[in-house]
Amino acid sequence: MPAMIATFRALAEPNRLHIVELLRQGPRPVGHLVRRLRLRQPQVSKHLRVLSAAGLVDVRVDAQRRIYALRPAPLQQLELWLEKYRRLWEGNFQRLDALLDNLKSSEQKSRKKKHLRRAIGSDHP
């Protein structure tokens, strides 16, 4: 799961996310990215290094050029991780919370709130 952190950190930088989006269309040499982004060549190289360290990107050497390509693995991992959360919006799980909240608004508060507290927000569930 520290792999997940590396992925998030890499993608949290706007320019890097942009690079990833550009590479979605296929492998590209550095110069191509430099022209698309509002960045100078050294920064692009640096960002590519970070992406590479995070395993998000792969280099292929072609003479003086380096062709960078997306590596699917980290994104697959990300999708895998996300799946654990899908029930949050697929099932009506968790919205139970909002429902109870609404109910609470149309009642006197003291006794009922204690019930809710034990039922949902309990500290020792």
Partner DNA sequence: TACGAATATTCTTGTCAAGGAATATTCGCT
Partner DNA sequence: AGCGAATATTCCTTGACAAGAATATTCGTA
- Note the residues at the interface with DNA (CB under 7 A): 9, 13, 15, 29-31, 34, 39-50, 59, 61, 63-66, 110
Shortest distance, position 53 Cβ to its own copies, whole Å: 14
Shortest distance, position 124 Cβ to its own copies, whole Å: 8
Q: Output DSSP code: residue 125.
A: -
From the list its own copies, DNA, none, pick the one residue 118 interacts with, judged by a Cβ distance below 5 to 8 Å according to partner type.
none
Shortest distance, position 94 Cβ to DNA, whole Å: 18
Q: Is 16 exposed, middle or buried (0-12, 13-18, 19+ CB in 10 A)?
A: buried
Q: Which of residues 81-110 bind its own copies (CB under 8 A)?
A: 82, 84-86, 88-89, 94, 97, 101
Q: Output DSSP code: residue 28.
A: E
User: Per-residue DSSP letters for 35-79?
Assistant: HHTTS-HHHHHHHHHHHHHTTSEEEEEETTEEEEEE-HHHHHHHH
